[in-house]
Chains A and B, each alone.
Chain A
Amino acid sequence: MQKRTSILSLTALVLTAACASPSAQHAGQSADLSLQASEQSVLAAGTGAISVAAVPLVAGGSALVVSGAALEEVGAASLDAGSAALVAQSDIGCGVGQVQTQGMTCVTPDGPPRLD
């Protein structure tokens, strides 16, 4: 039973395979997808072609030129907010207020993340 559980769990773990890119086998299809997206959208979506150039728009102010689809909010869920408490989990050997990032030396963290 335990063996079976381990195998199933491992299978799930392997299948996690995060960050996978579209495979080469599907590259042509991806380009097709992009083309369809481009044709269907008022946004000119780029193709998957390497020669596509994109310049991020940093300037603020003007409204984006899009036709936003009206969205239906059908429900609400709450995130199980994690503890925001300081995690000084491995501060043995570090100075007061310092943390030891794994594999690294003791570093004093900045203050909690805040936007001015």
Chain B
Amino acid sequence: MFKQLIRASAIALATLTPIAAHAGSSAAANPVLPVAEVAAFSNRVQQDLGARGARVAIVSRVGRDPAVMPRGITYTHVGFWVYSRITQPDGTTGMGYRVYNLYQTADDLTKSSLVQDSPADFFAAAHSLDAGVIIPDPRLQRKILQVIGSPTYAALHNPVYSVLANPMSGQFQNCTEHTLDVLVAALYDTSDQRQIKANITAYFEPQQVQLNGLQRFLAPAASQALTTVDHGAEVKTATFGSIARFMQSNDLADEIYRITPDRLVRF
């Protein structure tokens, strides 16, 4: 039995380590979709948001094949899209959306940084052209913009990254948890991180990820970014779906939908 366990561990680690080493990079695991299709889709999402008058929206992408994702999780990355006046390097200006991201760093998967990029950059590493969109209530949009434009936005960033970060704890953080922290800071007009976590603990129901003891034991060996030491008996993390449910059940969203190149489905 012990030998079998050792063998299973060795096989798992041998299989997983190379993958984990490149997990933060789209180069190793994601096919890059045709440039023209990604550009057209990013514009479709922008135009859709613009047509709806969204000054800020929460947008998610499919970064991995959903078939290999844990049950209940479809979208792998979430960011705020903010309608902005954009000045190009040549001095010309125009209107469009800028994306406020927390990205896992490519050279150290246990760290993250806050990065602003374009909608096309946002979808550049996508597995498929499929976005989950939440347009907050206009009153909440104004509050979120105030947080994004304040020092609180960066202050809520914890660069110690975990794929499965517990949103009720400040020990680790991923992109979805940072989005949730900003959202709750805006809702309650606070930058107090203890109060933000208390409110998340009280009112937010994260997505449970089914893992057995062996999986939890082995995961950090594959990558430290897969640690679950911040969890109790159950592993629960913030996801696009759980944020959508939170906003829907509390009447905080104007629209929640999925958009693809040829269809739109309202959740």
Chain A residues near B (Cβ < 8 Å): 3, 6-7, 9-26, 29-30, 32-34, 36-38, 40-49, 51-58, 60, 63-69, 71-84, 86-90, 98-105, 107-110, 112-116
Query: Can you list 29 A-B contacts with CB-CB less than 8 angstroms, sorted by A residue number?
Result: A13-B215, A17-B109, A19-B102, A20-B24, A24-B25, A30-B118, A30-B120, A30-B124, A33-B38, A33-B42, A36-B36, A37-B40, A37-B43, A44-B95, A45-B42, A45-B96, A45-B97, A46-B118, A57-B85, A65-B50, A68-B51, A68-B52, A77-B266, A77-B267, A82-B205, A99-B198, A99-B202, A105-B194, A113-B184
Residue B154 interfacial (CB < 8 Å):
no
In the complex, are the beta carbons of B96 and A43 less than 8 A apart?
Answer: yes
Which interface residue of B101, B145, B169, B203 has the most chain A CB atoms within 10 A? B203
Complex Cα spacing A100 to B251, Å? 26
Residue numbers in A under 8 Å from B138 (CB-CB)? 60
Complex Cα spacing A100 to B194, Å? 10
Complex Cα spacing A66 to B109, Å? 38
Residue B110 interfacial (CB < 8 Å):
no
For B1-43 the 0/1 string (1 means CB < 8 A from A) is 0001001100110011001100111110110100110111011
Residue numbers in A under 8 Å from B16 (CB-CB)? 10-11, 14
Residue numbers in A under 8 Å from B88 (CB-CB)? 44, 46-47, 52
Which interface residue of A15, A48, A79, A90 has the most chain B CB atoms within 10 A? A15
In the complex, are the beta carbons of A43 and B43 less than 8 A apart?
Answer: yes
In the complex, are the beta carbons of A19 and B47 less than 8 A apart?
Answer: no
Instruction: Report whether over half of chain A's contact residues are helix, strand or loop; otherwise say mixed.
Output: loop
Chain B residues touching A, range: 35 or more
Residue B155 interfacial (CB < 8 Å):
no
In the complex, are the beta carbons of A103 and B169 less than 8 A apart?
Answer: yes
Nearest CB of chain A from residue B213's CB, rounded to whole Å: 10
Nearest CB of chain B from residue A81's CB, rounded to whole Å: 5
Residue numbers in A under 8 Å from B166 (CB-CB)? 102
Nearest CB of chain A from residue B134's CB, rounded to whole Å: 11
With A22-B125, A77-B265, A115-B139 already in contact, 8 other A-B pairs whose C-beta atoms are closer than 8 Å:
A6-B12, A17-B64, A17-B109, A37-B119, A43-B94, A66-B47, A78-B267, A113-B188
The verdict on A26 contacting B29 (CB below 8 Å), with A51-B89, A79-B244 known, is no
Nearest CB of chain A from residue B172's CB, rounded to whole Å: 10
